A and B are shown apart, each in its own frame.
Chain A
Amino acid sequence: MTWLLAIPGLPAACFLVFLVSSRRIRERLLPLPAVCSFITLGLSVTALARVWPGGAEEPVWRGVLPFAPLGDHTLELSMALDPVAAAMLIVVTLIAACVQVYSLGYMHRDERKGWYFGVLSLFTSAMLVLVLSDTLLLTFMAWELMGLCSYLLIGFWFEMEAPRKASMKAFLTTKVGDMGFLLALFMIWSTVGSFEYRAVLESLGEWPAAAAAMAGFGLVFAAMGKSAQMPLHVWLPDAMAGPTPASALIHAATMVAAGIYVVARMLPLLALTPWVMEFVLAIGVATALMGGVLACVQHDVKKVLAYSTISQLGFMFIALGAGNAEVALFHLVTHAFFKSLLFLGAGVIIHAAHTQDMRLMGGLGRHMPITAGTFTVGTFALAGLFPFSGFFSKDEIIAVLVHHDHWYAAALALTASFLTAFYVNRLLFRVFSGPEQGELHEGHPSMLASLVVLAGITCVLGFASPTFAEFLGGEGVWPELGVALPSLAVAGAGLVTGWWIYGRRGVVVNTRIYKERFARLYGVLDQRLHFDTFYRQMIVEPFAIVASALATIDRTAIDGVVNGAIGFWKRAAVVAWSFDDAAVDGLVNGLAKIDVSATRLLDDFDNGFVDGIVAGVGHVVTAASAVRRVHTGNVRTYLIGLVSATAVLVWVLTR
């Protein structure tokens, strides 16, 4: 089944073609990435068929490549196809195909769109490598490469200040998390001597407690960066400065889920250390709540969605912390579809409204029925309404919490659900109802097609919930009424509250009275809970101060010693030089006729020193008159002097 390599290989080839082509050729090849993504989708479906009906422990295919000899070991790179990977392949290729097709419409006016499509392909390839990877080293490499693609796409409009800053912030913040990945890799290497997933998971019995804790924590920390968990979430809202379809693929559906994916695969290692699991749960709950709260006060459509992504990733962390990888992965899958749907819908909305600010929007529903309909499907899935996919996956998470007696976490997760439903309705009413603003048109057919496909999946995917769990080797269950009803009630309450504030009067409402009544609270929320301020004042600014202070010390203190020494050397050289000059001349002419004074030499030190070397070597073997010719500065004389001096020196020594 080596043909599986074509799944990441084809998009990578697309990238290479786009990389080396000129802009004119790129323009002609624009549909190529979309075609490639359909082929990879087809291959992924074939791969899924091979794995079906799943449930098995062993991968159906494994490819190993000897990569690097390290001492007596050989480092290997390997890929494997197991049920988890097969499911993720479908998710990634399907969403990538939708985004590629959608982008053809969305980006067609941009001057550098060829580069955009190229990087999008590279990203897809890296994500697919990550999915198939069977060794943590390859995972890490793909992980970092995705970080690069994310950087390039966030900063796609790099002439502008905001995207440039956001791209750097994203790269560095996730890189902070990557330190955790490195730590985990080091611990795994020194404990197991291999980076293979299976080798690690089979050796769990032999792990010392401290090593397991460090490796587990390292992986969690890495995932916190990549999957935007508090307090490393700060990059994701800013990342919305990139093109909207790229946000859909990378910053909503796939890359941000990579942290969840890796942790889910390594969950047995984490489970060796109870406090690591509790930490994951706590971070997940905090993130889910924080994302929900902050999504309620955003005015930018994309930022609402960004914070909702953070919140939903928090839900996935909750499932992982409760020890259930299948549930986390199912929420990952449903979220990937409905969130990419929402982002792509937001793109159509932004194109139509010419703004991202919800306060300037309204009445889009009547003129853009397809967009409004599909977008509403996405938001209801996000809010967890039956029968949309989000209901099933979120319900499973709450059920897991209840079954494991995490009552606090369950209550807080339900609170986050309430907030989700609230901001969902705020979003819907602000954008689609109310008075119309300007002329509105439905989006391009290529864009709407993607929306319809994703909305269709969102409508039916939930019913696959038990099948999915069994496919991954877990236990498939349908929602229990005891959990489903309260969770639906909470979502309903959130929707009603949202409607009460934003939809009841059918107009754009003024929320100023609330803002004034809770001014201090709103100020904190408006400043995104001051995370960015804290990092700027506590890390970035001190860092810059330390750096420039060190640079000054380098130039003064450390170099000062050297300069002192050079000053001494200069004086010594001049003295030696005048002596040498005098002595040589004295030998030749029999008279002390110094042709250059010591003071002039000080001024003209450079030439003096240069000649000094040549003369110094030369006068050992050549006549004094020849030395005087050297002083003319003729290049050939320098060289011949140098070479012949060396030659004579060698001859003298070997004789």
Chain B
Amino acid sequence: MPPILSLMVFLPLLGAVAIAAAPADRPTWPRWIAAATTAVVLGLAVWMFATIEPGGGVQFVERYPWIPLANIEYHLGVDGLSVLLVVLAALLSFLAVLASWRIDKRPRFYFSMILLLAVGTNGVFMALDFVLFYVFWELVLVPMYFLIAVWGGERRSYAAVKFFLYTMLGAVIMLVGILALYLHPLGGTFDMLELADRGFPVQFQWWVFLAFFLGFAVKVPVWPLHTWLPDAHVEAPTAASALLAGILLKMGTYGFMRIALPILPEAWAQWRWFIALLAVISIVYGALVAFAQKDLKKLVAYSSVSHMGFAMLGIAAGTAVGLNGAQAVNISHGFLSAMLFLSVGMVYERAHTRQIAEISGLATKMPVLAGLFAFASFASLGLPGLSGFVGEFLSLLGSWDSTLAPGYTIVAAIGVLLGAAYMLWMVQRVILGEVAPSIAEAPDASPREIATLLPLATLSLAMGVWWLWTLQHFNAYSTGLAKILGG
């Protein structure tokens, strides 16, 4: 068996080096190299997905000693929790390259950053050793910082620093948690799987959980740690926004399910009401604030805060159903937020504005683009038959059927209604209506743009119609974790 996972991690690095070494007078080489590399990685990911045995535990394991002195290993593997995230990361990297085809400002730097980001996002979901995990986690930060700071909008420097500051701070606190686990007499290893359910003392768990919580919650982001997100999204270039919302946010919820919950189940039991509370606030607050936005991209950004709240609610529920829901939100939001941001980017390229008041009538002027945009909007407001519903419904069902107070679920369900409100309000103003002057001359989606959006729409439909397709992977992990959590 070839080392697929390592290939997926290091091929983009090779690509980045190749781009850096490419001659400066060939501006189209970087994007072709990036497209080829991410396409190969995507192919590997699909092959891995096709051959993985659902519910068969950790597979494709690669394990070598790395720093024997501290018992640090190079340990990669995928299971039901991570397999779809890895596929998602590979897919979105490829689509991000496609969406960036027209980047002409320092293309070598740009595409090498996209590839470097892929190294981090692929690796972070495969790493089963804490040190390796932390390296990938931090590695994600650097290219994203550059993508925002160099290719961003007017306030890019502010947004980039804010993003960096926030997530760096979260990561450092998380590092403290990792070291605490390692240094504790019951710990002594960086192996993430081995540390599960070791029976650490509750008091110790409580503090370590707090550290992990802060690290992950910033990434999700959970209210009130979310304010870096709208700025980063609004300033970031389109592809970076899609990657940020589609993949980077999932690192937080993944961290909860991979690390915080299985290793510190008793602390989770003490913290969960607080997580549920913040989740519900995020859902309702995100939806309300999204409703009031005048900038299209900000609206989508706040919708992420709201939607990721459902994943957090599923995590707070801790039942198999709720954890399935949280994982389904992860994947579905990966498809849909990327699709929304890419659509907004395409609209912006045509209208040269993101002000909702200045755009209308997309459906008349560009029916294909408008149709795909509307598809993403309806999918993310939770229309059954599309992916958004799966996660939302299972998270709510899981939290209702758990030991959490029913009030959380009821308020969160009202969030579903609010979600429909801001999405429809956006559709009504932007997609429908009379053609605004800003898009009067604009063409419909090009084949390349359709090729960027259509795979995401197809996957969202497939996931929404055929739940088994994704849930057969999620469920084994969720069931095991729910047993550890006693739910």
Which residue numbers of A lie inside 8 Å of B, CB to CB? 66-72, 75, 140-142, 144-145, 148, 155, 158-159, 164-165, 167-168, 171-172, 175-176, 179, 182-183, 185-186, 189-190, 543-544, 546-548, 550-551, 554, 558-559, 562, 565-566, 569-570, 605-606, 609-610, 613, 635-636, 638-640, 642-643, 653-654
Complex interface: chain A residues within 8 A of B378 (CB): 148
For the complex with contacts A186-B409, A636-B21, 13 further pairs of A-B residues with Cβ separation under 8 Å are A70-B324, A70-B471, A71-B319, A75-B467, A141-B384, A144-B384, A164-B433, A168-B428, A182-B396, A550-B289, A550-B292, A562-B227, A610-B146
- B472 beta carbon closer than 8 Å to chain A: yes
Chain A residues with Cβ below 8 Å from B385 are: 141, 144-145
Contacts of B432 in A (CB 8 A): 155, 158-159, 164
Q: A164-B428, A547-B291 are in contact. Are A148 and B383 (CB under 8 A)?
A: yes
CB distance from A267 to the nearest CB of B (A): 24
Instruction: Decide: A69 near B165, CB < 8 A? Known: A145-B383, A190-B401.
Output: no
Complex: how many Å from CA A14 to CA B479?
A: 40
Known contacts A158-B433, A562-B227, A610-B146; A145/B384 CB under 8 A: yes
The contact of A546 among B106, B145, B288, by CB within 8 Å, is: B288
Q: Which of A70, A165, A172, A551 contacts B293 (CB 8 A)?
A: A551
**Chain A residues positioned under 8 Å from B160 (CB to CB):** 606
User: Would you give the shortest CB distance from B400 to chain A, in whole angstroms?
Assistant: 4
The 8 listed contacts between A and B (C-beta, < 8 Å) are A71-B479, A168-B425, A544-B291, A558-B227, A570-B161, A609-B161, A635-B108, A638-B109
Q: How far is the CA of A145 from the CA of B108 in the complex (A)?
A: 46
**B421 touching A68, Cβ below 8 Å:** no
Whether B397 pairs with A554 at a CB distance below 8 angstroms is: no
The answer for the CA separation of A186 and B408 in the assembled complex, in Å, is: 13
Q: Is A67 a contact of B142 with CB atoms below 8 Å?
A: no
Q: Name the residue on A nearest B162 (C-beta).
A: A566
Is B353 on the interface with A (CB-CB < 8 A)? no
Minimum distance in angstroms from A283 CB to a CB of chain B: 21
Query: With contacts A186-B396, A653-B67 known, is A559 near B227, CB below 8 A?
Result: yes
What's the minimum C-beta distance from B344 to chain A, rounded to whole angstroms?
18
Chain B contacts of A640 at CB under 8 A?
A: 20
A639–B410 CA distance with the chains assembled, in angstroms: 50
Tell me, rounded to whole Å, the shortest Cβ–Cβ distance linking B404 to chain A: 12
Instruction: Collect the chain B residues with CB atoms within 8 Å of residue A75's CB.
Output: 467
**Which positions in B face A, CB cutoff 8 Å?**
13, 16-17, 20-21, 66-67, 106, 108-109, 112, 142, 145-146, 149-150, 156-158, 160-162, 165-166, 224, 227-228, 285, 288-289, 291-293, 319-321, 324, 361, 363-364, 378, 383-385, 389, 394, 396-397, 400-401, 409-410, 413-414, 416-417, 420-421, 424-425, 428, 432-434, 467-468, 471-472, 475, 478-479, 482
Q: Give the top 3 A-B pairs by smallest Cβ distance, nearest first.
A: A71-B320, A606-B157, A141-B384
Known A164-B428, A172-B420, A635-B109: A558·B384 in contact at CB below 8 Å: no
Are B289 and A547 touching (Cβ within 8 A)?
A: yes
Q: Chain A nearest CB: distance from B28 CB in Å?
A: 16
Report if A67-B468 is in contact (Cβ < 8 Å); known contacts: A72-B479, A176-B417, A548-B292. Answer: yes
B22 vs chain A, min Cβ distance (A): 9
CB distance from A140 to the nearest CB of B (A): 7
- From B106, B383, B425, A144 is in contact (CB under 8 Å) with B383
Considering the chains assembled together, what is the distance between the CA atoms of A502 and B16 in angstroms? 83
**Bound CA span A70–B482, Å:** 11
CB contacts (< 8 Å) of A182 on chain B: these are 396, 413, 416
What separation, in Å, do the CA atoms of A565 and B218 have in the docked complex? 15
The residue of chain A having its C-beta at the shortest distance from the C-beta of B67 within the complex is: A654
Residues of A within 8 Å of B414, CB to CB, are 179
**Structural contact, A550 and B16, CB atoms closer than 8 A:** no
Instruction: Please tell me if the beta carbons of A554 and B162 are within 8 angstroms of each other in the complex.
Output: no
Q: Within the complex, what minimum Cβ distance (angstroms) separates A563 from chain B?
A: 8
User: Are B413 and A71 neighbours in the complex by a CB distance under 8 Å?
Assistant: no
Query: Is the CB–CB distance between A566 and B417 below 8 Å?
Result: no
Taking the closest CB of chain B, its distance from the CB of A548, in whole angstroms, is 4
Residues of B within 8 A of A66 (CB): 468
- Complex Cα distance A277/B252, Å? 47
A551 touches B292 (CB 8 A): yes
Compute how far the CA of A291 lies from the CA of B394 in the bound complex, rounded to whole angstroms.
38
A605 touches B157 (CB 8 A): yes
Question: A425 to nearest B CB, angstroms?
Answer: 39
In the complex, what distance in Å separates the CA atom of A487 from the CA atom of B206?
72
Q: State how many angstroms separate the Cβ of B154 from the closest Cβ of chain A.
A: 12
Q: Which residues of A contact B146 (CB under 8 A)?
A: 610
Q: Let me know if A70 and B394 touch, CB within 8 A.
A: yes
* Residues of A with C-beta under 8 A to B109: 635, 638-639
User: From residue A549, how far is it (CB to closest CB) to chain B in Å?
Assistant: 8
Q: Report yes or no: B420 in contact with A171, Cβ–Cβ below 8 A.
A: yes
Residues in B neighbouring A562, C-beta threshold 8 A: 162, 166, 227-228
Complex CA–CA separation, A550 to B142 (angstroms):
32
Given contacts A569-B165, A613-B142, contact A186 B400 (CB under 8 A): yes
A148 to B375, CA, bound (A): 11
CA distance A159 to B432 in the complex (A): 6
The closest CB in chain B to the CB of A604 belongs to B157
**Is the CB–CB distance between A565 and B165 below 8 Å?**
yes
CA distance A164 to B360 in the complex (A): 12
CB distance from A172 to the nearest CB of B (A): 6
CA–CA, A75 to B166, complex, Å? 41
* CB of B45 to closest CB in A, whole Å: 23
Cα distance A158–B142 when bound, in Å? 45
Known: A69-B475, A613-B142, A642-B142. A550 touches B20 (CB 8 A): no
Q: Contact between B417 and A175 (Cβ–Cβ < 8 Å)?
A: yes
Which among A69, A189, A546, A643 has the highest number of chain B CB atoms within 10 Å?
A69
CB < 8 Å neighbour of A643 from B17, B67, B106, B289: B17
Q: Which residues of A contact B389 (CB under 8 A)?
A: 141, 144
Known: A175-B420, A635-B106. A554 touches B142 (CB 8 A): no
Cβ-defined contact, B424 with A168, below 8 A: yes
A186 pairs with B161, CB closer than 8 A? no
Distance in Å: Cβ of A562 to nearest Cβ of chain B? 5
| Contact of B424 with A171 in the complex, beta carbons under 8 Å | yes
The reply to whether B478 and A71 form a contact with Cβ atoms under 8 Å apart is: yes
State how many angstroms separate the Cβ of B328 from the closest Cβ of chain A: 10
Q: Least Cβ distance of B31 to chain A in Å?
A: 15
How many angstroms from the CA of A606 to the CA of B161 in the assembled complex? 8
* Chain B residues within an 8 Å CB radius of A72: 320, 479
What distance in Å separates the Cβ of B335 from its nearest Cβ neighbour in chain A? 18
Contacts of B321 in A (CB 8 A): 70-71
Expressed in whole angstroms, the minimum distance between the Cβ of A230 and any Cβ of chain B is 20
Taken together as a complex, chains A and B put the C-alpha atoms of A565 and B166 apart, in Å, by 10
Q: How far is the CA of A638 from the CA of B16 in the complex (A)?
A: 12
| Distance between Cα atoms of A179 and B400 in the complex (Å) | 14
Interface centre among A176, A186, A569, A653 (most CB of B within 10 A): A186
Q: Which residue in chain B gives the minimum CB-CB distance to A70?
A: B321
Quote the shortest CB–CB distance from B15 to chain A (angstroms): 12
